[in-house]
Amino acid sequence: MRGAIEFKDVSKAYDGTLALSHFSHAFAPARVHALMGRNGSGKSTAIKILAGAVQPSSGTMSVNGREVSFATPSEAFAAGIVTVHQELSLVPSLSVGENIFLGRLPRRGRFVDWAELHKRAAALLTEMELEIEPRRLVETLSLGQQQMVEIVKAMSFAPSVLILDEPTSALAAREVGHLFELVRRLKARGVTVIYITHRMNELFELADTCTVVRDGHYVGTIEISDASPAKIVEMMFGDVAKASRPARRAVNRAAPVLSVRHLSRAPAFTDISFELYPGEVLGMAGLLGAGRTEVLRAIFGADPLDSGEISFAGQRVDKPTPKRMKALGLGYTPENRKEVGLVQMAAIHDNLILASLDRVARAGFTNRARETPSVTRQIRELGIKVADPLLPVSTLSGGNQQKVVIGNWLNTAPKVMFFDEPSRGVDLQAKQQIFEIMWAEAAAGLSSIFVSSELEELLDVADRILVLHHGRLVAEVTPQTTNLTELYQLCMEGHP
């Protein structure tokens, strides 16, 4: 049977952690199988083993009824198994086209046939309705666009088994729609798909079955036609209480803590003006490329502005720099934790104290003992699953890395926080914990700007929502008087 995959008693032990424990399951061919479980439950480990990226400690696998073991990713490739991993693997300094055809560039004689390369890349991109020029360097793309390029690349291998590890975590609604169409087409052609996500609604749109792992153990599999969100949550967690939002407080609009006027930076955004008030959670909605991240980066001083004025905590800031803004009390958790949020090789401990070193140190000196209370506090409050805080942050599961990024900034006791997609890759329970922390901090006076591609989340969490469309601020809405369809329409079209 083409595309049938079976795990038999597969385990994977790392120092101090049993990431996967006696996992057995058969994935039937030509279906879409969701793989779910909380952060750190072993999902990525299971698919890394199947993809040849990691070696199992014990157990076997079979593909199409034949036993296999992949020593390297290329062996898995040769067997038709193509994987889009959770942490993206594009080469930033190469073009989109080169990345798609890396290692198999079309040639004419001894030379790379660039015209052919760009033609083929353009055809693949167009099939996904992506308006990305194949000659563009990957480093100039947003995280979501990079995610799409990685998916296009995977498709170009014509896989018989396609594994997607949280492919939509940085995508907005429209791109998710394109991806889903594509996955359905592949399924119709007989491709087996294993799909990891933390977005519950995606299961019911796309998946045929749902397999749940918990603490490295296989919990069970159900047909989506027999499943309900409540049932799946129960399989994953036992039970999760939905975070109860404290009653919405009237925000005091006497004096804004942050005020921006006519901010422009071509071509990303134009004439952006808004206020952020003490204790307010201000949502920011928009499609991929609408300019949300770019606006935050410019206010934080990470990118220069063409024009505009910023006032922060009562002070006019002429030329913001990250250092100056941080000193004034602004914290920023970026959407791309791999690039800018974390030092992958450094210890979890060090990553949690990175931003607040100057607060913790006395006369310029610090040591682990002095830092430990701040580190322990964030591990406890954010429920970060760590075996040992002195291990490199790269040993954490994706969702737990995300929590480290947030904990690092909360340790700076900021006045204002910019949360750029804070729940990216974070499981349902951890998400609720992050929202509870945002609300609790807001009640204590922290103001925040919250960017999310999940509109339901914005409506749940924010006091007020700004909508960006093609780099312009096109609307401001209140969650109490706006529904999901209206907000979606604003993001898509830029008007009601």
The one among 160, 351, 356, 400 contacting ligand ATP by CB under 6 A: 400
**40 or 331: CB nearest ligand ATP:** 40
40 binding partner (options Mg ion, ligand ATP, none; Cβ < 5 to 8 Å by kind) = ligand ATP
Taking the complex as a whole, the smallest distance from the CB of residue 385 to ligand ATP amounts, in Å, to 6
Give me the amino acid identity at 476: E
Nearest to 213 by CA among 417, 42, 446, 61: 42
Residues 351-410 that bind Mg ion (CB under 5 A): 398
Taking the complex as a whole, the smallest distance from the CB of residue 20 to ligand ATP amounts, in Å, to 7
| Stretch of residues binding ligand ATP (CB under 6 A), selected from 204-212, 370-378, 398-406, 470-478 | 398-406
Other Cβ atoms closer than 10 A to 231: 13
Cis peptide before 373 (omega within 30 of 0): no
Taking the complex as a whole, the smallest distance from the CB of residue 86 to Mg ion amounts, in Å, to 5
The residues, ordered by sequence, that sit 6+ positions from 118 with a Cβ below 8 Å of its Cβ are 97, 134, 135
Angle (CA) 102 72 124, round 5°: 30
| Stretch of residues binding Mg ion (CB under 5 A), selected from 84-92, 252-260, 321-329, 371-379 | 84-92
| Stretch of residues binding ligand ATP (CB under 6 A), selected from 155-163, 338-346, 397-405, 472-480 | 397-405
Taking the complex as a whole, the smallest distance from the CB of residue 165 to Mg ion amounts, in Å, to 6
Considering the rule CB under 5 A, would residue 37 count as an interface residue with Mg ion?
no
Classify 208 in phi/psi space as left (phi over 0), alpha (psi -120 to 50) or beta. alpha
Instruction: Tell me the per-residue interface mask from 409 to 448 with ligand ATP, x by CB under 6 A, - otherwise.
Output: ----------------x-x---------------------
**285 or 386: CB nearest ligand ATP:** 386
Distances (CA, A) of 416 to 163, 252, 441: 39, 15, 10
- DSSP three-state, residue 7: strand
Taking the complex as a whole, the smallest distance from the CB of residue 55 to ligand ATP amounts, in Å, to 12
β-bridge partners, 83: 163
**151 or 281: CB nearest ligand ATP:** 151
Taking the complex as a whole, the smallest distance from the CB of residue 427 to ligand ATP amounts, in Å, to 6
- Both tokens assigned to 327: 């000193």
The one among 21, 25, 37, 83 contacting ligand ATP by CB under 6 A: 37
Distance CA 258, CA 328 (A): 11
Instruction: Tell me the per-residue interface mask from 66 to 105 with ligand ATP, x by CB under 6 A, - otherwise.
Output: --------------------x-------------------
Distance CA 285, CA 459 (A): 10
DSSP structure string for 116-153: HHHHHHHHHHHHTT----TTSBGGGS-HHHHHHHHHHH
Residue with tokens 């036993």: 67
Distance CA 247, CA 322 (A): 34
**19 or 263: CB nearest ligand ATP:** 19
Considering the rule CB under 6 A, would residue 279 count as an interface residue with ligand ATP?
no
- Both tokens assigned to 225: 């036609």
**50 or 282: CB nearest ligand ATP:** 50
Taking the complex as a whole, the smallest distance from the CB of residue 396 to ligand ATP amounts, in Å, to 5
Binning the chain into helix, strand and coil, the percentages to the nearest 5 are 35, 25, 35
The one among 3, 5, 10, 19 contacting ligand ATP by CB under 6 A: 19
Binding residues for ligand ATP, rule: CB under 6 A, are 14, 17, 19, 37, 39-45, 86, 385, 395-400, 425, 427
